[in-house]
């Protein structure tokens, strides 16, 4: 059975530049590898505010979104950058994802492969990927792809589709690399055994 690569889009607008970028990565992964892809775009979900409840106590859209995360094998996560950080909607979602020791006995991001994408108005927010997104996945014990993709407004067309060919190629490589990392973790002895330290 094929692995599932889930694209998580932390944008609450639709159409969305971030969604377009994540979709390029998912499409390339599916075209190259035996992998199923799904999309979780927060603009299409009415999520409650995280309040520390257990996983089994969520309902409706929130329960559905969390189930997609729990069931997936690897992830491409994209966020628009606001004030130098990830979107509040995405941070709220992360605050509900279980970590195996609290809220539920599952830890979906632990040892999982994760590709990172961010979009912003200008290149000034480029470091948000490594200063904001990557540490969160380190906390979860995930294996993030070493490279990432940042795209600014000038690299999209009027319909918010990725127009810059170099960015499209980098996104495609990121999607494929995420699947390759997922399979490397599965085949490795130590790579998939570190998890979170605390």
The alpha helices in the chain, defined as continuous H runs, are 17-32, 60-71, 88-94, 128, 134-140, 165-187
* Lookup result for tokens 């998580």: 8
Q: What mean pLDDT, rounded, does the chain reach?
A: 95
- Give dist(CA 185, CA 113) in Å, integer: 8
Task: At 76, list the tokens.
Answer: 């491409």
* Lookup result for tokens 């055994």: 193
- Give dist(CA 113, CA 72) in Å, integer: 11
Is 107 within 8 Å of 194 (Cβ atoms)? no
pLDDT (0 to 100) of residue 44 = 98
- State if pTM tops 0.85: yes
Q: How many CB atoms lie within 10 A of CB 189?
A: 6
Domains of the chain with bracketed CATH: 3-187 (3.40.50.360)
CA dihedral (30, 36, 37, 40) in degrees, to 10, reads -170
How confident is the model over 51-76, as a mean pLDDT? 96
pLDDT interval class at 194 (50, 70, 90): confident
- Give dist(CA 18, CA 4) in Å, integer: 20
How confident is the model over 133-152, as a mean pLDDT? 96
């Amino acid at each position: 059975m094929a692995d599932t690569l889930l694209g998580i889009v932390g944008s609450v607008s639709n159409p969305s530049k971030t969604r377009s970028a994540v979709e390029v990565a998912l499409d390339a992964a599916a075209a190259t590898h035996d992998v199923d892809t799904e999309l979780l775009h927060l603009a299409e979900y009415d999520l409650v505010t995280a309040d520390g409840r257990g996983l089994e106590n969520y309902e409706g859209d929130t329960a559905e979104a969390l189930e997609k995360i729990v069931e997936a094998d690897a992830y491409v996560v994209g966020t628009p950058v606001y004030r130098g950080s990830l979107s509040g909607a995405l941070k709220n979602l992360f605050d509900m994802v279980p970590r195996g020791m609290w809220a539920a006995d599952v830890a979906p991001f632990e040892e999982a492969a994760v590709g990172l994408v961010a979009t912003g108005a200008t290149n000034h927010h480029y470091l948000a990927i490594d200063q904001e997104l990557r540490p969160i996945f380190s906390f979860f014990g995930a294996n993030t792809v070493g490279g990432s993709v940042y795209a600014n407004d000038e690299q999209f067309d009027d319909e918010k589709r990725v127009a810059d060919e170099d960015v499209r190629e980098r996104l495609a490589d990121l999607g494929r690399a995420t699947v390759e990392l997922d399979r490397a973790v599965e085949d490795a002895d130590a790579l998939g055994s570190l998890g979170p330290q605390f």
